[in-house]
Amino acid sequence: MPPLTEGQRVPEVTFRVRRDGDWVDLTSHDLFDGRTVVLFALPGAFTPTCSVKHLPRFNQLAPAIRVHGVDEVLCLSVNDAFVMDAWREAQGVSEVRFIPDGNGDFTRGMGMLIDKRANGFGERSRRYAMLVRDGVIDKLFAEDPRPDGTETYCVSDADTMLAHLASLSHKGSTTD
Ligand code: BEZ
């Protein structure tokens, strides 16, 4: 399945998250309906580029991203809730909400599943970031997978998303 594109609705799925020692259902409706959300997705918790660059920079810039009318910044990975919670704690992240797509349902629906068997990872998410308004993809920055299964880290970063949001705000202010 090819990746979803701008103008399409994000997949409707149910995530299983941990809250106060119990399992809780969290749906796409809960996360996206009536809200403006930035979601970035990456291949794996605790992996080098994700831990050193992708996640920390989004955590750093999340307050600036919210200034542009974004309700929440989400980090999604094809990992289970225990792993995602442990990664958030290990990284000391407070500005980003972690979404465990352990079954890969959201990622599959996005057309973003990628074969990472070469790393012993099975199927994971491509690295991308998107701006979602009321459940519809408004802007998508997706990295290109290389033939060897690795990916670039050029367009899905927090600075690129913030610059995009700033350009929209600027356009808005100049047309008023
Ligand atoms: C990384 O983020 O550096 C990474 C992701 C998946 C596999 C190997 C490394």
Q: Which residues pair with 142 in a beta bridge?
A: 128
Identity of residue 148? D
For 121, the domain range is 14-170
The string of pLDDT tens digits covering residues 107-151 is 999 999 999 998 999 999 999 999 999 999 999 999 998 877 788
Ligand 1 within 6 A of CB of 50: yes
CATH at residue 148 = 3.40.30.10
Per-residue pLDDT at 173: 60
Q: Which of 57, 107, 150, 153 for a ligand 1 pocket mutation test, highest count of atoms within 8 Å of Cβ?
A: 150
Residue, of 1 and 135, whose pLDDT is higher: 135
142-174 burial by CB neighbour count: b if 16+ within 10 A, else e?
A: bbeeeeeeebeeebbbbeebbebbeeeeeeeee
Average pLDDT over residues 31-50: 97
Q: Confirm whether 50 is a catalytic residue.
A: yes
Q: How many angstroms separate the first and last alpha carbons of the chain?
A: 41
Indicate which residue's Cα is closest to atom 6 of ligand 1.
43
Q: What does the alpha-carbon distance between residue 31 and residue 45 come to, in Å, rounded to a whole number? A: 21
Within-domain flag for 30: yes
Is the pLDDT confidence value at 174 over 70?
no
Tell me how many domains the chain contains.
1
Average pLDDT over residues 35-62: 97
Is the pLDDT confidence value at 176 over 60?
no
